[in-house]
Homo-oligomer: A and B are copies of this chain.
């Protein structure tokens, strides 16, 4: 094994990927939600599934919650339950888009009463973070308008800034705000945080604990995501990723499924900035690498395992880039040589390296196959009958 491969293995061993509780639940498009057998019926079962993914991959030790989808009486008990299953509770995701009051927006709604309600929910999420010991509050706003003239673009920014300020000031010393952006959907004319520039500008105004969250599916066609990654790393404001992939809009497919080369380029920027582990902090903590996907037609747990492996494979390739050769070609203006240095790593089959690493960690080298053989799927299908399956909004 070369020095570079050995270093890659060490870095990969430390990598952490958070899975989202809602990805274990049913999801769909506006046209139809297809139910799957064995899907969790409550937060506890979601945690059990997340723990299963971690058991087979070894690098997914936390799970993100979505409030109110994962509302429970006793969050301390939930955290304890997670711990007993070998995982921890990660990011708390606020949800201010599924109440009838939010038809015209949440924190940017023209109605002050609705804004108050929405901000109160965000504050409640910080309370939950206190209970679960979570570090990160992730904010995604569905807020926007569908028709020109519907509301004042600028006034909505004022209202947004006001709510963010109140929530930011509520954060504890070790807590961080992750502000997500999204081009469109569900709003179809304007979105109140449509791009990284808007998120970044609000973070700058708020203070050092506010950082940008990049959802890889939330960009306009043609957007160079790794540029944004590099820019935010340089500015010290890259807080988190919501990984998924897309061919068209916010398709929420498995990360790496639509464009594995793009995922590699993104991770190469991370690796180049030494930001894969704890070498880089933003808002007082390393980058949170999370999945945010919808497994509408494929089996959920193996799809999430597959997604974790896809991130690992892209990371492994990024770690194998011959950075000396790359830098020499770049500084010498050798366009083809520099590109070849990058592509050489991308063309490498890293599955043997990752298989070896897993064996070293006491895991099966093929987590998908191991899961299939484990009987877990058959067990949850058999056991999880009756009750109401969890889904987006449940």
Contact = CB atoms under 8 A, between A and B. Distances in A.
Interface of A: 27-32, 34-35, 97-98, 100, 102-104, 110-111, 142, 146-155, 157-158, 183-186, 188-191, 194-198, 200-201, 204, 219-224, 226-227, 230-231, 233-235, 246-249, 251, 253-254, 257-261, 265, 269, 272-273, 296-299, 302-303, 306, 313, 326-327, 329-333, 335-336, 338-343, 346-349, 351, 368, 392-393
Nearest to A351: B347
Contacts of A343: 148-149
Nearest to A299: B336
Contacts of A348: 349
Given A195-B195, A197-B198, 4 more contacts: A152-B330, A189-B224, A189-B247, A249-B249
A340 B148 CA distance: 9
A188 B297 CA distance: 11
A237 to B, nearest CB: 10
Copies assembled: 4
A257 to B, nearest CB: 6
B111 A333 contact: yes
Contacts of A341: 149
A148 B227 contact: no
Given A297-B103, A298-B335, A335-B297, A253 B142 contact: no
A138 to B, nearest CB: 16
Contacts of A351: 347
Contacts of A186: 28-32, 296
9 interchain residue pairs of minimum CB distance? A197-B197, A149-B342, A220-B220, A221-B221, A188-B251, A29-B186, A153-B230, A349-B349, A147-B339
B197 A302 contact: no
A156 to B, nearest CB: 9
A341 B234 CA distance: 39
Contact of A28 (B30, B336, B339): B30
Contacts of A153: 226-227, 230-231, 269
A200 B342 CA distance: 30
B149 A338 contact: yes
A373 B258 CA distance: 38
Contacts of A221: 220-222
A338 B155 CA distance: 15
A269 B153 CA distance: 9
Contacts of A150: 330, 335, 338-339
Given A100-B34, A347-B349, A184 B146 contact: no
A52 B346 CA distance: 28
Nearest to A235: B201
Contact of A32 (B188, B220, B393): B393
A339 B148 contact: yes
A173 B194 CA distance: 35
